[in-house]
Amino acid sequence: MNKSFTLTLTALILAACNSATPAPTTAPVAKPAQPTLAPTVAPTSAPTVAPKPTDVPKPTEAPKPTATPKTKMVVATTVEPLTNIVYNIGGNRIELIGIVPPGTDSHTFEPAPSDAVRLARADVVFVNGLFLEEPTVKLAKANLKKGAEIVQFGENTIKQQDWVFDFSFPKDDGKPNPHLWMNPLYALRYAEIAKDTLSRRDVDNADFYAQNYAAFKTRIEALDVAIKKTIDSIPAANRRLLTYHDSFAYFAPRYDMKVIGAIQPSSFSEPTAKEVAQLIQQIKAEKVPAIFGSEVFPSKILEQIKKESGAQIIETLSDDALPGEENAPNHTYIGMMVDDAITMAKVLGGKPELISTFDVTNVVTK
């Protein structure tokens, strides 16, 4: 040990001497051979020993006067459609954080510890509520910074007497179907809540938020009319929805459609063999024209039901995931609703062209 320490030290000294010696401008003539140890050790040892120019302490700089840049309000949301609705009001004047990653099952989503850090930065946390994002709400509450608030859209949109319970959201559990945003007029109310909240907390930009809300309102009202026309073009007997995921409880009554069933049980697991057998019976008896699946909830069960019931078509409907790539013009809440109406019209014998050219872009441009 001592020996190696001595050798190393020697090497370091040699290395230090070498690096300190200015390079000769002419090649030295027949210099005696250097000890063989030095060159092999020097390259690795030298840099740590030689003081670097950057180590020289800098003269202390006078602190620059900060131009007090107005910091943006930090706003956290949960699922993509809600994030997009809030974006249409706040644009780039807020810093918007979506907690539930795209394509994730929002009903079973468990936030990661890193989400606690993100939620702790938020001034406002917008959630759907109605028990959709309980773990996220719990985490937000535990980490909320002083003066921040959690705003629940659902609870501020409909009264308890208007809650819908059904197969996947049974009354016994006390947790209603939370998919209010699938009714565009409820989505508009979400936007209004966002506008009111942002304006109250950021008065300087209140006009901007109000202007965006007005534009969103005009577009949503037009969307509502376009969906109505499209669904009306479906023969009455076909205006029935059997979906895998039970997300049209507030959409269907708005457009005179009937949800005849959902396949996914309240546990969000796969249905049992018995339940599947019953469903197949029901599909045959009611002559269900189509079963609608979902990208977020792919299910092998659907294939089985399709095979055994003869219900010929499975198409994709979405309530959580926005269409297109991020930044694509149709990657919006409105784009998702238009896609769903097109899918229903195509599969159930309606006229998709009544809505296929609808403007699906964001109303906010900055």
Torsion-angle region of 243 (φ positive above 0: left; ψ -120 to 50: alpha; else: beta):
beta
Instruction: Give least dist CB 357 to Zn ion, A.
Output: 28
Q: Report yes or no: 174 and 182 within 8 Å, Cβ to Cβ.
A: no
Count the neighbouring beta carbons within 10 Å of the beta carbon of residue 274. Answer: 8
The interface with Zn ion within residues 270-329 (CB under 5 A) comprises 319
- CB within 8 A of 323, min separation 6: which ones? 330, 331, 335, 336, 339
| 335 phi and psi angles, rounded to 5 deg | -60, -40
Residue with tokens 């936030």: 111
The closest alpha carbon to 360, from 344, 343, 341, 337, belongs to 337
Closest CB to Zn ion among residues 88, 247: 247
Instruction: Give least dist CB 112 to Zn ion, A.
Output: 20
The interface with Zn ion within residues 241-260 (CB under 5 A) comprises 247
3 state SS of 271 = coil
Instruction: Give least dist CB 179 to Zn ion, A.
Output: 6
Residue closest to Zn ion, measured at CB: 247
Per this entry, what is the length of the chain?
Answer: 366
Which pair of structure tokens corresponds to residue 276? 């599947």
Q: Report yes or no: 212 and 363 within 8 Å, Cβ to Cβ.
A: yes
Q: How many residues bind Zn ion (CB under 5 A)?
A: 2
Instruction: Give least dist CB 99 to Zn ion, A.
Output: 15
Instruction: Give least dist CB 294 to Zn ion, A.
Output: 8
3 state SS of 151 = strand
Binding flag, residue 177, Zn ion (CB under 5 A) = no
Residue with tokens 């009306």: 232
Count the neighbouring beta carbons within 10 Å of the beta carbon of residue 319. Answer: 23
Instruction: Give least dist CB 320 to Zn ion, A.
Output: 5
CA pair distance 190, 187, nearest whole angstrom: 5
List residues binding Zn ion (CB under 5 A).
Answer: 247, 319
